[in-house]
Amino acid sequence: MSSLTNQPVATESKKPADARERAKKLVQEIQDKICQALEEVDGKARFREDLWERKEGGGGRTRIIRDGGVFEQGGVNFSEVWGDTLPPAILVQRPEAAGHSFYATGTSMVLHPKNPYVPTVHLNYRYFEAGPIWWFAGGADLTPYYGFVEDAVHFHQVHKKACDAHHPEYYPVFKLWCDEYFYIKHRQEPRGIGGIFFDYQDDSGILYRGPDTNGRAHAYSEKVGRVSRTWEDLFAFVKTCGDAFIEAYIPIVERRKNMEYGERERNFQLYRRGRYVEFNLIYDRGTVFGLQTNGRTESILMSLPPLARWEYCYTPEKGSREAELTEFYLKERDWVNEFKS
Amino acid sequence: MSSLTNQPVATESKKPADARERAKKLVQEIQDKICQALEEVDGKARFREDLWERKEGGGGRTRIIRDGGVFEQGGVNFSEVWGDTLPPAILVQRPEAAGHSFYATGTSMVLHPKNPYVPTVHLNYRYFEAGPIWWFAGGADLTPYYGFVEDAVHFHQVHKKACDAHHPEYYPVFKLWCDEYFYIKHRQEPRGIGGIFFDYQDDSGILYRGPDTNGRAHAYSEKVGRVSRTWEDLFAFVKTCGDAFIEAYIPIVERRKNMEYGERERNFQLYRRGRYVEFNLIYDRGTVFGLQTNGRTESILMSLPPLARWEYCYTPEKGSREAELTEFYLKERDWVNEFKS
């Protein structure tokens, strides 16, 4: 575990000689373990695997599950890419990387369950190198259609435990950062009930780097000050987070997957999936960047739902379970502490 | 009719004293006439009208049709907005407007028919004023799910006739501009079979202003040289285009609306509607600008389909009608001349 300190730390970025290989193996192992756990809980469908190469350098293995017992459609992607220069949007945050070639590897996942009581979930863990610098990034967040306090608390609690094992300030900062990032501005609505999200984690001692924020995570991390971490610390942290996903999500699936539902619940799920499309195509950096830089479109857009609907001025009935989603669940809540008995 | 000339014309922008009122009335009349024609051809549903106000100045009337005989969902919007400053993306194109307040009024429409043989259609005509300058913009384009040469030729022919009545170079330039604008870059695919599209039409003599282009419309308009037009010329041109819509689209609806279809055609339509969502949320300037500048979300997103689906690596069967869409229809074609017998 690293220690919290208000002392600035050296910005020289040390990493092991086999950093790329280890990071790649880590995210591949996360992909493998998650796919296995998902097939088990699904009970019917298996992942289809596509290996692909990127003309400009790199490639990946995309795994798709469809028409399963639980999962209507979903994908768990692994990719490894390299090139001459990072995109401008990243260079603004990490100017030290300008003029250097880069390497990036990661795994990302979105699952769209069939049953409206099973929440959609997203996970992404990645590692970057560019000239003198490197960083880890990622997180996981939950998007229910019908909310359950028990599920939200569980998902957060497991991620908090994973964070706390590495640094007491990780969960508070990365929870706020997640709330800020997965926000659908034009709807003034969070995408879901959150989880954790972090970017640009390196050994500079800086816990938070904007700009996708209303400033609260930033303000909090400023208050926290600098946090001393090594490459090894962060590697271990990402491994813990990746491993935590199964414990965070699978019990929720087990609890909800056999709940009965009808056309009403299905229609609401399809409507809410429209919000997921809106977020991913308008705001999600990974999606927009991938599409604009000649990424593999089918792998990038595997995050989109199998079916979604839009309805002009839809408003759920007052006091209904559907109204409860936006009125109670899609609020920024301290899930771990608010519901302690 | 204006005359084509290679002589640069003065850039002083003259307009009538009641320019705003006349432009507003024009686009409202286009909205009215189109709604009436659509209700007639639909035969079942009526438009629901919502009047709304914009806090920062202006407002609109949104008209929505749902669950009709022909139209599954669609909207015809009128709006009028004003404010202190145009967004940066427009100021890059029109630097003369910097530091001035602006006024904009327009009508925009997207229709998603239920029957997969009836094409989706989009129309938009608008007028801007900002300090010393003003301009007209707009167009209409067709997005079939199952292609018919007859329909594509008809839609283009009617718009060509409308353009030709005002200037022989309008159709050639605005047809190319449409092909260039409604292009889904990450799919390397046009959104549909096109139509006409123009922006920044004023009395400066400049026919084309980028930047959303691969340069062919630009190159063509450079070749054409400068085209002398007054405010009155352009007002009359937009009126002709707006009036042409009914003749361009309604006969296609009549021909296709009773064609029998099954689950296969419906599934393909839903899949292709996903492309419409991708274009509108990622590339469409109006949509993205509207959402980012506190527009009325429900009116802006009325362009999204009632139901859409995504499927990883979907490929239509070789030689099928579905394959024909991308292989034959979604190519840049000179619809008016290529199929002359």
- What is the per-residue pLDDT across A267-296, written as a single tens digit (0 to 9) for each? 999 999 999 999 999 989 888 777 766 778
**A195: contact with B, CB 8 A cutoff:** no
Percent of chain B scoring above 70 in pLDDT: 94
Average pLDDT rounded to a whole number, residues A298-323: 96
* Residues in B touching A303 (Cβ below 8 Å): none
- What is the per-residue pLDDT across B76-104, written as a single tens digit (0 to 9) for each? 999 999 989 888 878 888 899 999 999 99
Question: Residue B10 — very low, low, confident or very high, per pLDDT cuts 50/70/90?
Answer: very low
Average pLDDT rounded to a whole number, residues B66-71: 98
Entry pTM: 0.93
- What is the per-residue pLDDT across B128-161, written as a single tens digit (0 to 9) for each? 999 999 999 999 999 999 999 999 999 999 999 9
Mean residue pLDDT of chain A comes to 92
Instruction: Give one word for A100, left, alpha or beta, with left for phi > 0 and alpha for psi -120 to 50.
Output: beta
**B298: contact with A, CB 8 A cutoff:** yes
User: Is position A122 annotated as part of the catalytic site?
Assistant: yes
- Tell me what pLDDT residue B252 has: 98
Q: Hey, how many other C-beta atoms are within 10 angstroms of the C-beta on A206?
A: 17
Lowest mean pLDDT among A143-147, A283-287, A323-327, B175-179: A283-287
CA geometry: angle at B245 spanning B240 and B247, to 5°? 100
- Tell me what pLDDT residue A211 has: 66
Of B278, B305, B307, Cβ closest to residue A281: B278
- Tell me what pLDDT residue A203 has: 94
Average pLDDT rounded to a whole number, residues B321-326: 98
**8 Å CB contact between A63 and A33:** no
Lowest mean pLDDT among A4-13, A136-145, A228-237, B95-104: A4-13
- Tell me what pLDDT residue B223 has: 83
**B306: contact with A, CB 8 A cutoff:** yes
Mean residue pLDDT of chain B comes to 92
Q: Is pLDDT of B39 > 60?
A: yes
Stronger pLDDT, A309 or B215, i.e. the higher one:
A309
- Integer Cα distance of B282 and A165 in angstroms: 39
Average pLDDT rounded to a whole number, residues A89-103: 89
Q: Is pLDDT of A198 > 80?
A: yes
**Tokens 């700009």 sit on residue:** A211
A63, B318, B275, B71: CA torsion to nearest 10? -130
- What is the per-residue pLDDT across A122-131, written as a single tens digit (0 to 9) for each? 999 999 999 9
Asked if B313's CB is within 8 angstroms of A186's CB, the reply is: no
Average pLDDT rounded to a whole number, residues B3-15: 55
Q: Which residues contact B81 (CB under 8 A, 6 or more apart)?
A: B54, B56, B57, B58, B59, B60, B103, B104, B105
List Cα–Cα distances, A185 to A67, A189, A331, B305, in angstroms: 32, 7, 14, 21
* Residues in B touching A62 (Cβ below 8 Å): 312
* Residues in B touching A64 (Cβ below 8 Å): 312-313
- Integer Cα distance of B294 and B284 in angstroms: 16
> Predicted ipTM?
0.91
What are the backbone angles phi and psi of residue A196, rounded to the nearest 5°? -130, 150
- What is the per-residue pLDDT across A119-178, written as a single tens digit (0 to 9) for each? 999 999 999 999 999 999 999 999 999 999 999 999 999 999 999 999 999 999 999 999
Asked if B309's CB is within 8 angstroms of A309's CB, the reply is: no
